[in-house]
């Protein structure tokens, strides 16, 4: 049972868990973990959640899914979200692995996916076969071939309608501009804008343990 959440979770006689007052009637998936003070928002966010992992999604301490964001996963998909993360109307698509570390913020309409068209699936014939296979599946989820893990390090901010593509690692403290498309790794503290994304500057690293201790000392003194 999830305890001490930002929303009340109730259990019915069949052992299914629901968000109290949720407008959407479905129960929460059994294979998700909600840490203390987490805010899952609504079970609607899990309507395309088909992970068969033991824990297909973990939402860390005080992290929140706001504005009916969507968690889409295939049977092997896994989403890990750290502490104090804000997801505002975000779409996460995983057929393998998406990891978001602590203190990250994602603005409206941003998309993070570990699955996309590759050289193997670029052929119109192959793409047609993929769509035909989806039409015969029970859940209509498109299982892309060769998904690649996405890792977003601590204290990353992502702007409106930005897209983060498979295999990308975004370094600590980076900022991704609105509508930017990220298809390559982003170094720590970089500010990236455009399509394709380009680094326009680097921020001062003010969130390191040393910087934090210095700031605390300045406040105390």
| Residue 100 in this model has a pLDDT that exceeds 90 | yes
| Residue 69 in this model has a pLDDT that exceeds 80 | yes
Angle subtended at Cα 173 by Cα 172 and Cα 176, rounded to the nearest 5 degrees: 105
| Residue 48 in this model has a pLDDT that exceeds 90 | yes
| Sequence spans of domains, the chain | 9-117+149-220
Selected residue with higher pLDDT from 172 and 4: 172
Q: Note the CATH number of domain 9-117+149-220.
A: 2.160.10.10
Bridge partners, 70 (sequence order) = 91
Q: With DSSP H G I counted as helix, E B as strand and the rest as coil, what are the percentages for the chain, rounded to 5?
A: 15, 30, 60
- 96: Cβ–Cβ under 8 A, 6 or more apart, which residues? 76, 77, 78, 114, 115, 147, 148, 149
Q: Report the 10 Å Cβ neighbour count for 104.
A: 24
Reported pTM: 0.91
Structure tokens at 79: 């989403």
Residue owning tokens 């049977």 = 75
Per-residue pLDDT of 163-209, as tens digits, reads 999 999 999 999 999 999 999 999 999 999 999 999 999 999 988 88
Structure tokens at 177: 């501009």
| Residue 84 in this model has a pLDDT that exceeds 80 | yes
């Amino acid at each position: 049972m999830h305890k001490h959440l930002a929303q009340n979770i109730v259990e019915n006689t069949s052992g299914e868990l629901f968000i109290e007052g949720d407008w959407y009637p479905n129960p929460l998936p059994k294979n998700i973990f909600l840490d203390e003070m987490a805010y899952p928002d609504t079970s609607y966010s899990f309507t395309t959640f088909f992970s068969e992992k033991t824990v297909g999604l973990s939402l860390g301490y005080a992290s929140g899914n706001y504005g009916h964001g969507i968690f889409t996963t295939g049977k092997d998909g896994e989403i890990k979200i750290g502490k104090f993360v804000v997801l505002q109307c975000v779409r996460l698509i995983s057929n393998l692995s998406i990891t978001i570390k602590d203190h990250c913020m994602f603005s409206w309409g941003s998309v993070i996916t570990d699955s996309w068209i590759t050289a193997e699936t670029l052929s119109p014939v192959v793409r047609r076969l993929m769509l035909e296979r989806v039409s015969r599946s029970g859940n209509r989820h498109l299982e892309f071939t060769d998904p690649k893990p996405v890792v977003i390090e601590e204290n990353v901010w992502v702007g409106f309608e930005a897209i983060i593509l498979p295999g990308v690692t975004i370094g600590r403290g980076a900022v991704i501009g609105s509508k930017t498309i990220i298809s390559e790794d982003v170094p720590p503290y970089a500010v990236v804008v455009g399509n394709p994304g380009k680094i326009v500057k680097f921020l001062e690293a003010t969130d390191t343990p040393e910087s934090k201790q210095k700031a605390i000392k300045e406040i105390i003194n």
